Each structure stands twice: as structure tokens, then as C-alpha cells.
A and B are shown apart, each in its own frame.
Chain A
Amino acid sequence: MTAENTSGAAPVTAEDIEQALLGFLTEKIKSPVAADQDLFASGLVSSMFAMQLVVHLETEYGIAIIGPELKLDNFRTVQAMTSLVMRLRNGSPLPADA
């Protein structure tokens, strides 16, 4: 399970990422999701799905979410996931050992 860098085709602005994530979640959860909605508190997300989210973000945006980044707060809302993606994309490039 490795993150592949597919960022070439992926959206780049925070707004794009947020929209794409809202679309992804609405499709998967099959109910409308708001950008600031707490996905865990509302019971919409199980640990199985949280893992799916991690894999989705990694492959879609060419990032590696490892170590301390696997905090629940980073996945709690679409907004939180968007800033996580932006931060990891803009920060250091994909670590060699991701």
C-alpha cells in the first residue's frame, strides 16, 4: 500500500479539493455532507471508512498521511481534510519512504 503521486490530474486549489471531497463523501455515504460537519460525531464514518478516506486522500492527491498526521482531527470534517491535503501538498515533497 503505497501512495502514488497522481497530483498531475488532481485539483489544486483548496476550493477544488473541498468540492471534490464533498462529492466523494456524498456518493460514498449516500447522504448530503456539509463542509464543516463533524463526520465522526454524526456517526457517518466508521473506522473502516476512515481508512478508506486515508487511502483516497493519499492516492488522489499524491500525499502520504503517516505518523502523527493520522489524528482523527485531520479527518473530522471536509474542511479539516482539505487543509491537511493543502498542507501536505505545499509542505515538503512526498517523503522518499512514504
Chain B
Amino acid sequence: MPEPRVRLDGERALAAELIGDDAGSWDLARRLPIEVLRKLSARGMLCAEVPARFGGLGAGSLESGELTAHVGSLCSSLRSIMTSQGMAAWAIQRLGDQEQRGRYLAELTSGALAAVAFSEPGAGSDLSAVQTQIVRSGDLVVISGEKMWVTGARYADLLVILGRLGSGGAAVVVPASAPGVEIEPITDPLGCRAAGHAGVRLDEVRLPVSSVLGGGGQALPLIFTTALSYGRLSVAWGCTGIIRACLRAAAEHAKSRQQSGQPLSQHQLVSRHLAELLVADQVSTRVCEHASRCWDSSAQDLAVAAVLAKHVSAGQAARSASAAVQVLASAGVRDGHVVARAYRDAKLMEIIEGSNEICQLILAERALAGSA
């Protein structure tokens, strides 16, 4: 079991410095400053697990996860960008050929931004409904389709598009600037409001065949599960960050706010919330650590471990955010406040990268497989 090699202390400090006290105003403005994203990309922080030989930080899943939680505790919108860029990088590393890995991973660690487009109007978790077509035409491929809820698409230079190619699947790297690409930002998402969600329309986008990762023809479910496993683990760590932010805010408030002549923390019904927040932090951290160790050691169970981590952490984050808003009460119920953001962001985390219910179906399948 590899232990963390790089602590990423400098990267954590840079994130804190760049975010400062601005996460609330970014949430209200529904926009992240592009120069912050470019700086983090150039530092390799948006996809920290890219190996050093490709220009990345070469972090293991554990230390990358702790960095994700750190950023997630400060700004879930920015953490969502890390999840997207990390998924894009992982898909490229896994599906791409040598030349593609070298080219694209260098870009993703030197200022460029990427998003991953899977969901379609008629296809969320149901892969059989994916309709985006990638068709070979001589030295070109022609891509047509419509993608929904693409996190970070508003900022992205590159879009990793999942589609059908022949009887199999393919992931193709599409420059956002390519003719035929139309990006329509979603201006009113419930949570992660500054994460740059957008719909992406592809109208006969023509690209060189070399844009198709590994030449295409991979199994659609394998592409999906591969990229999504990274995404789930990243979301799980991000949720751990949300919980830590809630614990911090609730504990500080309970210590300082006086009610009926004593600090809130001395009121037992409030202190129970604090205990539950502490438990949530521990539970979520441990299940994420387990999944990251599975990832770092290539454990066979890693895909299910990522689902478990995502499911547990998202649920704990949603409950923790609700409790933290309750403890802060009127002090925390304005948009932009850390617990108000947590409340909205955490709910979204129970939906993306496999809803609670999809996660439960996968876990139930595992439960059945485990019984003789």
C-alpha cells in the first residue's frame, strides 16, 4: 500500500490564497475567475494524479483526494472543475494512445481547461440511450449530438465527448472552439453555481481522426465506468470537504454565539448537531481513504469502492449541511454563505455521477454477488 509521497502543501496553500474569501461572491456571480482556473491548471492542480512524465504532479489518489477535500471545503464550484479536469485527464490517460497522452496531458497541466460530456437529454445513467454519433469519414471524424449538464463546459478549451462509433463507443477530444460546437451555459443551477455547467450541442463537428482516443471502438460501459470511477472518488472527497466546512462553521458559531446567557454549544440540542458533524467528517474521510487505497493498489473492487465512497459522502454532506444551517440559523441562510452554499451544493452531490438511487442499485448488486 503506497503511502502519500507528495503532500501537496504548496498546492493547498496556493488554493487557499487564490480562493481567499471570494467563494461566496463567486457563488453569487455564478462565475469563477478564468485566471484562477488557468493558474491552477498550470500548477497541475486540476488533475493532480497525472504522472510527472506527462507534466503532472504525480499525486496518488490519497493525497489528490485530500487536496480535493481542501478545495471542496472552500469552494465546491472550483472543486467541481477539479473533478471534471481529473476525469478528462484520466480518460485520456486510460483510453488515449502514446501521442494523445503526451499532447493532451501536457495541455491539461499547463493552463488548459477540460470538461467531460456524458449525459444527454435522453441518457443519464442509461448508456443504451446514448445517441451522440462519431462517424469516420476518411481522415476525419464527424460528431453530432447533444450533451447536458456538462460541468465546466463554460470555461473549457477541450471537451471529452462520449459517443457511439460503429458498434462500440468512443471518447473524442473536441476543442470548444471547433466549428459546429455550441455551448449554452445553464445560468440557474441549484448548487455549485459557479461551476460553469452548460449544455453542449455538436452539429457535424469535423475533426482529424487523431482526436478519437485510442482510435475508438472501446466498450461504451467500460469508457463510462472508467471515467466515472475517477469522478465518483473525486466527488466523494469533495463532499468530505463540504462536511469539514460545515463542521468548522457550526463549531465556531456555537462557541461564539450567546443564547439565553450561555454559548450555543452549551445547549444540548445544538451540541448533538456538533457531534453528528464530527461523526460525518470521520465516516466520510475513512470511506474515501478506503476507496483511494483501493485505487492506488489497483484493487479489483475499486469501482464499487468509489461508488460506496461517493454514496456515503454525498449523503453525509447533505445531512451535515442541513445541520450546519440549523445551527447557524439566521447567520447562515443567505446565498453565498459557506453553509448556505454547502446546503445547495451537497444536494447536487446526491444527484451527479450516479444518484443516490443508482449508487444503491450498484451496491445492492454487490450485496447479492457477495451472498453465495
Contacts and interface: CB of A to CB of B under 8 A. Distances in A.
A4 B298 contact: yes
Contacts of A50: 219, 221-222, 225
A8 B86 CA distance: 33
Nearest to B96: A67
Interface of B: 51, 53-54, 61, 93-98, 101, 127, 168, 213-219, 221-226, 229, 295-296, 298-304, 307, 362, 365-366, 369, 372
Contacts of A66: 93-96, 214
Contacts of B61: 1
Nearest to B366: A48
Contacts of A75: 219
Nearest to A75: B219
Interface of A is mostly: helix
A58 B298 CA distance: 9
Interface of A: 1-4, 28-30, 46-48, 50-52, 54-56, 58-59, 66-72, 75, 95-97
B369 A70 contact: no
A30 B372 contact: yes
A13 B216 CA distance: 30
Given A2-B298, A4-B298, A52-B301, A67 B97 contact: yes
A17 to B, nearest CB: 17
Contacts of B51: 97
Interface of B is mostly: helix
A52 to B, nearest CB: 5
A96 B102 CA distance: 12
Nearest to B296: A1
A70 B94 CA distance: 9
Nearest to A74: B219
B95 A70 contact: yes
A70 B170 CA distance: 10
A72 B168 contact: yes
B123 to A, nearest CB: 14
Contact of B214 (A46, A54, A67): A67
Nearest to B300: A52
B303 A52 contact: yes
A70 B222 contact: yes
Nearest to A47: B221
A55 B213 contact: no
Contact of B298 (A3, A28, A71): A3
B218 A71 contact: yes
A70 B98 contact: no
15 contacts: A4-B298, A46-B365, A47-B219, A47-B221, A47-B222, A51-B222, A51-B226, A52-B301, A70-B94, A70-B214, A70-B218, A71-B219, A72-B219, A72-B222, A96-B53
